[in-house]
Amino acid sequence: MPKKPLEGLRVADFSWYGAGPIAGNTLSQFGAEVIRVESETRPDGLRRVHPFAMNPDGTFKTGYNVSGYFNNFNTGKLSIQLNLNVPKGQEVAYRLIEKCDVFLTNFTPRVIDKWNLRYEQISAVNPRIIAAYAPMQGLTGPHRDFLGFGAVLTPVTGISHMSGFPHRPPIGVGTNYPDYVINPGHTVTAILAALRYRNRTGKGQLIELPQIESVVNALGTAVVEYLVNGDNPGRMGNRSLNASPHGAFRCADDPESVGSVDRWVVIACRDDREWAAAAAALGHPEAAADPRFATLEARKANEDELEALIGSWVRDRKAEDVAAALQAAGVPAGVVQNAQDLLERDEHMRARGYYQYVEHPEAGREAHDGPAFRLSATPGSVPGPAPLLGEHTMEVCERIIGLSMDEVADLLAEGVLV
């Protein structure tokens, strides 16, 4: 088994919910030893939300350790319970940080101040520490203490304004999208850059990653469009200014699709050649010469008619067959897949082995997202199940922090390790 690229790196993960832990999960997949600092007095909210593992009788399991949401994004980490609201808890935190290379948090500055975990405080304990702070709106500014999740970030960054159909209210993207991709991706990149700097200079540094500023990177050309012509790009549904047809079209129902039988295919024709190929592949080559649809300009002017026509062509066909026929003709197309498709029916994902299965002591066998990228010489992998709440408190205290058994017993008795 080749050595993973981040082996030997130790991370003190003081984050919770999505953006912070998911960044830590990537580091864990590539070999870092990641220690989740948690507390049963206020456990990570993801430990308490669906989907929960199920019992053989079809009922849901209960407790802090059976959330698939939490388990998927905390693979292979260690968990220590620590009460950061008391001075002795903060002292233990300092002793942990002293033994780590990276400090990671996405709590608000108000909480960081309360726990005495500001950069100047922890860098005094460990000058080589790389301290990554990812609060929603940054460490400074009038909104520094504003609270929120991905469902708040998508509206305040402008994404929701452009999501949905023009005759309906903004709908967002249906998930806490920034938490899974943009914020943790930028955080990991920043940590790796800071590690390279430390390898050259021996010095740690502060990373400030305001989630709001990270997410506005995903707006594409919207801000530039306003800057150039004063126009606020609005909601266009599935349509595009530069392609037609460009949308999702209802195909034949699939009775084996769990939860919803409706099936859809997306089609995107960026020029007249692709449109002619699409029309031919769908059995109607004559449509390419129809004056209403012969050019991109004409198709945009008659887009309602065009979409209705394509809908009539595909409504009785399997979405998979439509996508395959269009792909064979060189037309961008794909099935609108659901979770069942991705996990069980997508032959490409199955052949690549993206989803990795792990046996969890309480949740049972679980599918986990694999690494988002592959290194040929030093590949990452799901390192093991997510930790039970506080599962490694004794190990972290003794092996990493260096506390004696008597010290640990005293801290337990005093309510510090809870």
Closest among 106, 147, 155, 96 to 126, alpha carbons compared: 96
**Contact yes or no for 16/42 (Cβ under 8 A):** no
Sheet holding 33-38, edge to edge: 78-81, 33-38, 10-13, 102-105, 130-133, 205-208
* Cα(374)–Cα(256) distance, integer angstroms: 33
Encoded amino acid at 209, one letter: L
Q: Which residues pair with 36 in a beta bridge?
A: 13, 79
Cis peptide before 51 (omega within 30 of 0): yes
Helix axes 319-328, 272-281, angle to 10 degrees: 130
CB atoms within 10 A of CB 117: 22
Q: Which amino acid is it at 41?
A: T
Sign of the alpha-carbon dihedral angle for 304, 307, 313, 319: negative
From the candidates 101, 179, 254, 341, which is the catalytic residue? 179
3-state secondary structure of 51: coil
Q: Is 179 a catalytic residue?
A: yes
Measure the CA–CA gap between 270 and 283, rounded to whole angstroms.
20
Query: Could you tell me where the DSSP H helices lie in 30-82?
Result: 68-72
Residue 103, class by beta-carbon neighbours within 10 Å (0-12 exposed, 13-18 middle, 19+ buried)?
A: buried
Cα-Cα-Cα-Cα torsion 332, 335, 341, 345, nearest 10 degrees, comes to: -70
Asked if 178 contacts 158 with a C-beta cutoff of 8 angstroms, the reply is no
Name which of 332, 319, 185, 303 is nearest 264 in CA terms.
319
Tokens of 212: 């709001």
By three-state DSSP, how is residue 78 classified?
Answer: strand
- For residue 362, CA distances in Å to 50, 62, 68, 105 come to 15, 10, 11, 27
Given a contact cutoff of 8 angstroms between Cβ atoms, the answer to whether 84 and 119 are in contact is no
**Hey, which residues are catalytic here?**
179
